[in-house]
Amino acid sequence: MRQDRLGDAILATGLPREIKKRWPDSHVAVLVRSYTKPVFENNPHVDEIITDDAKPETRKESFWPMVRQLRSRRFTHALMLLPEARYNYMTFCAGIPVRVGHGIILFHALTFVRPVMTRKFQKGRHEAQYSMDLARSIGIKTENVDPEIYLTEQEILQSEARVHNWGNGKPLVGIHSTSGASAPNWKPDLWAELAKILLQEKSLQVVITDYDIPQEMNNLEGALYLCPDKNTSLRADMANISALSLLVSASTGPMHIAGALNVPTLSLFCPLGACEPALWGPLGNPAEFVMPEDDYCRDQCPGDPHACHLVGSKLASPTEVFRRISESIN
């Protein structure tokens, strides 16, 4: 059960694979939001995808229908990757015998959930490892936590066609300038500055992958825009990203899509423990990170990743990122 955001869901895609390795005949279902459902589609290790999009005003009325749906499946185990009271009581009322969650929380204790004591502040340990800890608690023995997204044959053909049609032999450099503000990110003007520098290089093709494109990034002559329509499906986005030679972004969902598709990434990060690359970096792909100077973080860090825009950092400047991009694709 992983009912939060895109990157979190992607980092949980290794669990079905490892469970199927241990028990090939098992029935593996995932419970996610409809938004992240495409991440698990076409996955040969996932037998069933259950969605729950309850909003605050519908949580109460949708609770018992979800309980009946889970009870009808006769699940034996529930791995609750995100501690949340609603899903805790839902799995309890559904009669699932083995329920596993992170830490000792009151609502877990009241329903006899098996606690997994994770060490969230262990330096250098990745979020995907913490997710896999729940599977390890029921007998899975693995160190492979790499995420996986499985494209359909048609999507693979579409991706190959885009490599030819968009780039005509040139490297395709994707720029994703927006994020959910959970990690440091440039303001749009710096992303536009990088895009304009890249657009001067005739040996590559710049591709803008944002849904909600900032005004500063709009109508850049020579750039390709992949999502002019906000209704573009997530599966289409995955096929588009798979065609890229490199994706440049902050720490955000599309970065994790690229990781799961083995597309190289160059990502803005900072060394704060809550959002460092060792904890939240992409897995499964060639990944490089843009980090500010040590003294920048010591002297200018606001202590809040939502408020950090890496302004004034030479190592995290558009000109330095351009140099890193040039090295990556040459």
Q: What is the pLDDT of residues 13-42, one digit of tens each?
A: 999 999 999 999 999 999 999 999 999 999
Domain co-membership, 193 together with 110: no
- Report pLDDT digits (tens) over 165-212: 888 889 999 999 998 877 889 999 999 999 999 999 999 999 999 988
Residue 57 and residue 41: Cα distance in Å, rounded? 28
Model pLDDT, residue 274: 74
Residue 234 and residue 237: Cα distance in Å, rounded? 5
Residue that wins the pLDDT comparison between 168 and 161: 161
Task: Decide if 144 is inside a domain.
Answer: no
- In whole numbers, what is the pLDDT of the chain averaged over residues? 92
- Report pLDDT digits (tens) over 236-253: 999 999 999 999 999 999
Q: Is the pLDDT of residue 271 over 90?
A: no
Residue 257's alpha-carbon distances to 8, 39, 193, in angstroms, are 11, 9, 25
Residue 222 confidence class, pLDDT cut points 50, 70, 90: very high
Residues facing residue 32 across a β-bridge? 51
CATH number of residue 47's parent domain = 3.40.50.2000
Domain co-membership, 242 together with 320: yes
Task: Decide if 143 is inside a domain.
Answer: no
Model pLDDT, residue 228: 61
Residues 6+ positions from 328 with CB-CB distance below 8 Å: 246, 264, 266, 288
In the three-class reduction of DSSP (H, G, I as helix; E, B as strand; rest coil), residue 152 is classed as coil
Domain co-membership, 127 together with 168: no
Rounded to the nearest 10 degrees, the angle between the axes of helix 318-329 and helix 188-199 is: 40
Tokens linked to 296? 């920048």
CB atoms within 10 A of CB 306: 12
Domain co-membership, 266 together with 164: yes
Residue 230 confidence class, pLDDT cut points 50, 70, 90: low
Pick the closest to residue 31 from 61, 9, 11 (CA basis).
9
Task: Decide if 124 is inside a domain.
Answer: yes
Domain co-membership, 131 together with 207: no
Pick the closest to residue 145 from 169, 125, 122 (CA basis).
125
Domain co-membership, 84 together with 206: no
Task: Decide if 147 is inside a domain.
Answer: no
Burial zone of 254 (CB within 10 Å; 0-12 exposed, 13-18 middle, 19+ buried)? buried
Q: Which of 60-64, 109-113, 229-233, 260-264 has the lowest mean pLDDT?
A: 229-233
Domain co-membership, 160 together with 275: yes
Pick the closest to residue 38 from 258, 209, 235 (CA basis).
235
Residue 134 and residue 252: Cα distance in Å, rounded? 24
- For residue 156, give the DSSP letter: H
Domain boundary among 81, 106, 136: 136
Domain co-membership, 124 together with 196: no
Domain boundary among 136, 163, 180: 136
Model pLDDT, residue 118: 73
In the three-class reduction of DSSP (H, G, I as helix; E, B as strand; rest coil), residue 32 is classed as strand
- For the chain, the domain total comes to 2
Residues facing residue 51 across a β-bridge? 32
Residue that wins the pLDDT comparison between 301 and 270: 270
DSSP string, 265-305: EEEE----TTT-HHHH---SS-EEEE---HHHHHHH--S-G
Residue 218 confidence class, pLDDT cut points 50, 70, 90: very high
Model pLDDT, residue 329: 86
Domain boundary among 136, 165, 188: 136
Domain co-membership, 196 together with 275: yes
Task: Decide if 290 is inside a domain.
Answer: yes
Task: Decide if 273 is inside a domain.
Answer: yes
Residue 226 and residue 244: Cα distance in Å, rounded? 11
Task: Decide if 148 is inside a domain.
Answer: no
Helices (H) and strands (E) in the chain, counts: 14, 11
Domain co-membership, 71 together with 175: no
Share of the chain above pLDDT 90, in %: 76
Residues facing residue 288 across a β-bridge? 266
Q: φ, ψ for residue 108 (rounded to 5)? A: -70, -45
Task: Decide if 29 is inside a domain.
Answer: yes
Domain co-membership, 13 together with 127: yes
Residue 309 and residue 307: Cα distance in Å, rounded? 6
Domain co-membership, 161 together with 119: no
Range of the domain at 127: 6-136
- Report pLDDT digits (tens) over 105-155: 999 999 999 999 876 556 778 999 999 999 999 999 999 999 999 999 999
